[in-house]
Structure formats: C-alpha cells, structure tokens
Amino acid sequence: MSAENKKMYGILAEFNNPKELIDVSKKVVELGYDKFDTYSPFPIHGIDKAMKLEKSKLGWIVLGHGLLGFSGALAMMYFMSVIDYPINISGKPFFNAPAWVPVTFELTILLSAFGAVFGMFFLNGLPRFNHPLFNIERFKRSTDDKFFVCIEAADSKFHADQVHEFFKEAGAAHIEEVYE
C-alpha cells in the first residue's frame, strides 16, 4: 500500500543530542501542540518539565489498590474469625488484630503490585501490538544514540507543511512522515 493510501500518524524529527531534544520540546509546547512525544536512548533530566507533562496518576492507583487490599484483608479476617466461624481458643478475643498483621500486610502489597502493573498497562494504552513508529528504519536508533520528536497528526493544530518547516528551523537532522 502506498503512502498516499495510508493515514498519516505524524511527523518524526531526528536530533543529535539531548539538549536539542529539550529545546525543541519547549518550542513544540510554545506553539501549542499537545499530541507529541519524545524518544531517547536514556532518561533525560528535565524533559518532562520541557514537555509540560502532568504528574502521573499511577501513584494514586497504587494507593487505592493498597487501601483496598488492607481493608479487604481486615474485612475478610473479621468475617471469618468473628462472624462466620468464631472459635474460642484459650480465651483469646475473636478480634485478634496482632495475629492478622501478616495477612493484612501481604494482601496490601499484593493488591498494590497488581495496581502498579495493570495501572501502568492502562495508562500507557497497552497492549499495543504495533506502533507506526516501529515501521521507520531510522527510529531503531532511538535505543542507541539518536533523539526523536514526533508530532501526531491527531493534534488539532497539526498541518504537515508547518510541522516540516518548524522541524527544519529547529535543526532536525532528519524529518520523516509516519503512516499507520
């Protein structure tokens, strides 16, 4: 299928160092684009600030699942020990909270871990079996020594000619259209 028959995903620009990537990210935000992403072979300090990314919701998801595990463990043990099958052993109370600490701890950690893993999958839109950028041969270098910015065609301000011109002015080493 030719490029004319395919739907455009966005425009990908290649840069040679992290400083250029941060600078172009700031310019992309200044121009009002909100559907773009950066790719680099290693984490870059300050890139999230340059991209004006909001804080992740993953911490709240993990906290919610941890509280669910904690309260669920206490409710489960209370039901089993006090309501469903109370056994009086040596006059100990039915509500014996110190004995419930290991189970409560384990369920809190278990549900927090599930929240972290599945929350990350959900927030990242996974599983996604193929991404249009994987079809670009030069993009393979994003795990080695090159830095990329992709402005998506789904952005409300996207105009292919303007984005091409912007990346040329920003000093991109290579610019390529990406199709789905």
The pLDDT tens digits for 47-67 are 999 999 999 999 999 999 999
> What pLDDT, on the 0 to 100 scale, is given for residue 97?
84
At 91 the three-state DSSP class reads coil
Name the token pair of 36. 């773009």
**Alpha-carbon distances of 20 from 14, 31, 95, 144, 177, rounded to whole Å:** 10, 16, 62, 16, 20
> What pLDDT, on the 0 to 100 scale, is given for residue 91?
82
pTM of this structure: 0.77
List of residues 6+ apart from 7 with CB closer than 8 A: 153, 179, 180
> What pLDDT, on the 0 to 100 scale, is given for residue 2?
55
Please identify which residue in the block is written with the tokens 């984490």. 43
Q: What is the mean pLDDT of residues 101-112?
A: 97
Of all residues in the chain, the percent with pLDDT exceeding 70 is 98
- pLDDT band at residue 92 under the 50/70/90 scheme: confident
List of residues 6+ apart from 135 with CB closer than 8 A: 178, 179
- In the predicted model, is pLDDT for residue 3 greater than 80? no
